[in-house]
Amino acid sequence: VFEGLQYQEPDEFNDIRKKLSQDSNGRKIDVSAGVYRDENGKPYLLKAISQAEDILHDAKRDHDYNFCLGIPEFLNAAATIALGEKLVKEKKVASCQTIGGTGACHLGATLLSNFCNFRKFYIGTPAWPNYFPLIKQAGGEVIKYNYYDSEKKEVDFTSILNALESAPKNSIFILQLCCHNPTGTDLSQEQWNILTSKMKQKEVVPFVDGAYQGLASGDLEKDAWPIQNMISKDMEFLFCQSFSKSLGLYGERVGCLHVVTSDSKKAEIVTDSLRFIFRSECSSAPAFGALLTSSISQNPELREQWKEDLEGISHRLSQVRKKVHYFLTERYKTPGNWDHVLTQKGLFWFSGLTREQSKALIDNLHVYLPLNGRVNVAGLNKKNTEDFCALIDYVVRNVK
């Protein structure tokens, strides 16, 4: 049966994690995977989650199956957090709970590709690598364009506009809401505004991936500005939501797909399609993380605590960025311009280190990062930031 099977492309992060776990050096530094770590380098349990866990534990709930579309309180909470109360009340949103943000992307791509016959997915590079196999498996076709100008270290807006100009009607544009993975470089409000108007005019579908809502500014609503911009233009679009980062619920796999439609009748039939697809793929999504999320959303004190948690995360990330900038520019006077560590947002600093420099850090210097030079700044803290910058300085000076 399995004779014709070929080995698939290896997963860079799996390989890095393996190497990292085999490295016994006590001073090794992990800035690889996109996860938030606290000042002690440990996974961070948000206070809001800890309190919601206590409430859930006291409620002594059962473990029955949930509805195929998801837990209704969760769906309502998730849609409101992403899209705002008004749209939810107007019933213009079709929502389905998913297995994390990845599941939301997969469900959205399947809906468009296999049920709407919209198959051309435009993706700006560099991109979250998982988009490519995910779109392929959903039967879509990927068209790449350049998203990031690595010389100027800013969004390559001309390239995005050119891609949009050449895209036929019914194409799909995958865009990240904020804290772009891997570049940390987001579209400005002005750029979003131009882009969404053009997308509407060209009848191109925005497919917005929101894996980091709340981590850019520390404020969920502020980070959702691009969505409100599309809503104000009465646009139809998809929003793939993840609570992995914003609530630190990585392993609980909490996500949701929201499809925003122009009227409530359309939302009804999209909801039905989502139910149909999800039933055959997963039957129903996991309960625990979704219950924590809805419990926080329904409780004003916990919502306030979540707000504080997010502000704390976003504050720590910007403090780390400032320290890296200080060490590179003042302490080590490392050749080059390092201002982009300050301007990029969220977990990622797209450092501009070459593949050889990144490889030298991994192979010889106990620093773990992907070869594209993306640094998860949350992996840095009081204990390791200076060492990390000294090693960056070393490779910049000694490795081409």
> Please, which residue, 310 or 396, has the CB nearer to ligand PMP?
310
Largest CA distance in the chain: 63
249, amino acid identity: L
Number of residues that bind ligand PMP (CB under 6 A): 12
Name the region of 286 (left: φ>0; alpha: ψ -120 to 50; beta: rest): beta
Binder of ligand PMP out of 209, 223, 252, 309 (CB under 6 A): 209
Interface stretch with ligand PMP, choices 97-105, 199-207, 334-342, 382-390 (CB under 6 A): 97-105
Q: Does 294 bind ligand PMP (CB under 6 A)?
A: no
**Residue closest to ligand PMP, measured at CB:** 100
Q: Phi, psi at residue 361, to the nearest 5°?
A: -60, -40
> Please, which residue, 242 or 261, has the CB nearer to ligand PMP?
242
Q: Does 252 bind ligand PMP (CB under 6 A)?
A: no
Query: Under a CB-based contact definition with an 8 Å cutoff, are residues 127 and 173 in contact?
Result: no
> Please, which residue, 207 or 327, has the CB nearer to ligand PMP?
207
Binder of ligand PMP out of 101, 140, 214, 373 (CB under 6 A): 101
> Please, which residue, 103 or 218, has the CB nearer to ligand PMP?
103
Binder of ligand PMP out of 95, 242, 271, 297 (CB under 6 A): 242
Binder of ligand PMP out of 29, 31, 32, 34 (CB under 6 A): 34
Q: Does 30 bind ligand PMP (CB under 6 A)?
A: no
Query: Under a CB-based contact definition with an 8 Å cutoff, are residues 190 and 389 in contact?
Result: no
Binder of ligand PMP out of 185, 217, 244, 384 (CB under 6 A): 244
Q: Phi, psi at residue 125, to the nearest 5°?
A: -110, 150
Query: Under a CB-based contact definition with an 8 Å cutoff, are residues 113 and 199 in contact?
Result: no
Q: Does 206 bind ligand PMP (CB under 6 A)?
A: no
Shortest Å distance, C-beta 210 to ligand PMP: 8
Q: Does 346 bind ligand PMP (CB under 6 A)?
A: no
> Please, which residue, 181 or 271, has the CB nearer to ligand PMP?
181
Binder of ligand PMP out of 100, 206, 248, 379 (CB under 6 A): 100
Interface stretch with ligand PMP, choices 100-108, 160-168, 229-237, 366-374 (CB under 6 A): 100-108
Shortest Å distance, C-beta 86 to ligand PMP: 26
Q: Which of residues 112-171 bind ligand PMP (CB under 6 A)?
A: 128
Q: Does 255 bind ligand PMP (CB under 6 A)?
A: yes
Query: Under a CB-based contact definition with an 8 Å cutoff, are residues 37 and 381 in contact?
Result: yes
Contacts to ligand PMP by CB under 6 A: 34, 100-102, 128, 176, 181, 209, 211, 242, 244, 255
